Structure 1
């Protein structure tokens, strides 16, 4: 095998999503730095790296200067892992003479002796095991023993050349506990992976990583969310919609309500996104669920990602309206998931949506609502970018997406908490209005990229028969402001509207 061929081979980490970020894994025979503050998952990733190698027949060596072997094995066991004979755990223990105050040398600093002894112990363990994969945990101990930046750099360089001579792939761990700003190893390492932990004001901590350096190899830049749960670390690569282009034959998708389809100019286009705006209680979820129900009746599959409403209440409510979501879920045609915004990062949510679309090949996705999705975002400016990539991806997979946004206020001038109307292909606007002493609801389509749509405003009602949409309100003006005026020339027009409302009940 040529040297060039060997340099392009990669050692997979085995961490879900991380190999995707690294575009295959860690190039064999090189030294990599994995850094992060305590608790960010460095040891868990390192153990998974060695276990994956052992499963492929590559012996591994875990050199620990900060944890005991028992602690490492217990940590592996908490994820259901067993460190077999292919993985040697070597615990570097200072010589007893260095712990005995009576035997301390006076002509040399004890750190000089400890650094030399530690290096000899590390090299001796490597000679005995001759591993293909090595983890050294942690560099903070070596940095403290070296005492100066020059000695520290030379020591790490010496270790790098030694391991490289035997073709070992090395993962150095730095917990940043001694010198968080020290970048000495960054210039030495072939690649650098940084783990970070964020603590929001409310909810669970959020973790993310980025590859800040990878010599001679492409990788997915930027931050990627990850989580530590039973079973190890899972990384959620940042979604890049441009990587998932495909051509589709698109057709109009019916809502199952003839009047609503007329308002939409025949329906919404398959593989497009529809944003449903309106105040609280106006019926945004019902409109979205109407499209999901119609998809199920056509024999297609759909997914509901619910942020705001408890699933049990949602199913009870929709069953009374004639939506058979329970049966569809049991048959495997409907995927239902309650999303806890306080516990789920945006990257993980996007990964879940993507996994369902890819695995089940469903055609309709409902996200209810973006207000809940926004709560999962630490920064509002990034929310629009996340939504943009997610919608573009879903569109290119041929999935029709419906999103709801609750606007502030009930009548009059209302604003959404985040401006995303320009991202959606179709925008449906719901409004309350008052007429003849009753609170009524109106629907209009204010945007549709593909094809024409009605410019009218129609009244709608939600009752035992589900969603009912009436005729255009030609005799009113000012409906969208909540207090319309009747401008019709004849009385029967107003009377027909009232009759329509009664029938809708």
Structure 2
């Protein structure tokens, strides 16, 4: 016979976690939620339990904490996933503190098995082993008895017709030497990383038998709704159905003269970098790019990394946001991860079926990243651009550069190579006042104008004037080189 066993996958109810697990939790699996103290293991366990528990799928939660379950639940009740109506019906809490104080591990095992037999749960949670470890130090059985207890409990949990979770606080050396890690079907490792003034929570699927989990370490956050996981965006290439960027279709920037300078507009699916000094008009050009999309029925998304909504949203852009033509992501919160930022962008792009994305600006994007991620800013920027353009959207990014008169550069981060097109804005001094000039530095795979053109800002519009035929004469009036 060749009848393959089908293992049902249970949805965890934790945003983003099912994607990491490969579709959900295998039914009847024995899972270990491990990690450092305060990393969010108990909150994650409660969120999974309240999501899955129902009258025909009851959950039993054992706690070996010294405090009663009601005190623990006092804090868990603050999350919206908590349902008081499930307590003592679909969910039962059992406190093993009294059994543990007696110092007999066998008695604790017997009590757990007795409660399981009486309640017949489909889900079993045992939390947490920090108290057990501390108690073992004063017991006659000691560490050897504790190790035997954990191994026996793990074997018991694998034998029940239930999906089980063992919640433990481990350090890496302990994890490597623990036999329970061998018998577990699934292992979720949770941690919190403190780097300078930032604190980031991480989760990793170390092991998940029978299904392909998402590799690597991923970011998660505990917010007002509970745990939310931000799966690490993976760059996919050469897959069936992938968007192929040919450069044949062009998008208007909203400025006719600029479209002509770019050889007919910005190729769809390209990333465009608009660089220039402060006040040169980068955000205004980006707004016109979104406005042109709204005019022809192409929704857009703007992510603001340094300006507040009142500063960024001009009257024109505010109207587009109110009409639902442009989605707005306010990323003023610091200590974000690239996965969290990309998650918000991809979610809004998918929901709105957006075709245009504006990132304003890269300087603010770097600042918004938690300090631990700023060290890998180049890699983060590369991944973000690759994922967005891989979705087929056209990306316009702004970057502020100090205006130097003695040399040219196109990115303060050395990342100009990531852009398929570059538009440079500069100031020149002419007749005792500053004038704005613009040029198209690069459009990959396309002919473009090499001219340097004057431009000005009139209201909410960027207007390009004639070519500066005598531009060399203008530059001869520039200030001397500055140190």
Give the secondary-structure state (helix, strand or coil) at the position aligned to 2:450.
coil
Indicate yes or no: 2:469 matched with 1:474: yes
Who is 1:259 aligned against? 257
Who is 1:170 aligned against? 164
Matches within 5 A, 1:16-415: 16-55=15-54, 57-66=56-65, 67-80=67-80, 81-83=82-84, 84=86, 85-95=89-99, 98=102, 113-146=103-136, 150-176=144-170, 183-184=177-178, 185-202=180-197, 205-242=199-236, 246-247=242-243, 251-315=249-313, 318-319=314-315, 324-377=316-369, 378-413=372-407
| CA contact 1:407–1:414 (8 Å) conserved in 2 | no
Indicate yes or no: 2:436 matched with 1:436: no
- How many residues matched? 463
TM-score scaled by length of structure 2: 0.87
**Per-residue deviation, 1:92:** 0.8
Indicate yes or no: 2:427 matched with 1:426: no
TM-score scaled by length of structure 1: 0.84
Give the secondary-structure state (helix, strand or coil) at the position aligned to 2:428.
strand
**Per-residue deviation, 1:368:** 0.4
| CA contact 2:185–2:208 (8 Å) conserved in 1 | yes
| CA contact 2:405–2:479 (8 Å) conserved in 1 | no
**Per-residue deviation, 1:186:** 2.6
Name stretches of at least 5 consecutive residues in structure 1 with no aligned partner: 99-112, 486-505
1-structure distance, mates of 2:460, 2:286 = 16
Deviations 1:6-54, CA, capped at 9 Å, x for gaps: 5x32232211101101111222222222122232211111012112221
Give the secondary-structure state (helix, strand or coil) at the position aligned to 2:288.
helix
Give the secondary-structure state (helix, strand or coil) at the position aligned to 2:152.
helix
2-structure distance, mates of 1:353, 1:429 = 26
**Per-residue deviation, 1:366:** 0.6
Deviates more, 1:188-197 or 1:267-276: 188-197
Give the secondary-structure state (helix, strand or coil) at the position aligned to 2:416.
coil
- Relative to structure 1, the CA distance from residue 209 to residue 37 in structure 2 (aligned partners, 3 Å threshold; closer, same or farther) is same
**Per-residue deviation, 1:190:** 2.0
RMSD: 2.9
Who is 1:500 aligned against? none
| CA contact 2:337–2:373 (8 Å) conserved in 1 | no
